[in-house]
Amino acid sequence: MEHVCEVCGNDYDKPIQVLQGEETHVFDSFECAIHALAPRCSHCGCRIVGHGMETDGRVFCCAHCATESGITGMSDRI
């Protein structure tokens, strides 16, 4: 099995494998997996680690960013 992290190149003896569709990815940490696979907010560009919000083919980290992008009707947990 290949142990080399796709992001940082570290050859680690306890890699994380992530199956995404038919592709298998190998990382040495959750940090590298997030860097490679987590979507970015369409407004602010931050990596979305949680559920995020999606509409019209765009994904946002929060209702504020969606609103700033002209999306109405979304709300964060109050």
pLDDT by residue (tens digit) across 3-52? 899 999 999 999 999 999 999 999 999 999 999 999 999 999 999 998 89
The residues that bridge with 53 in the sheet, in sequence order, are: 60
Contact 23, 45 (CB under 8 A): no
Look up the pTM and report it: 0.78
33, amino acid identity:
A
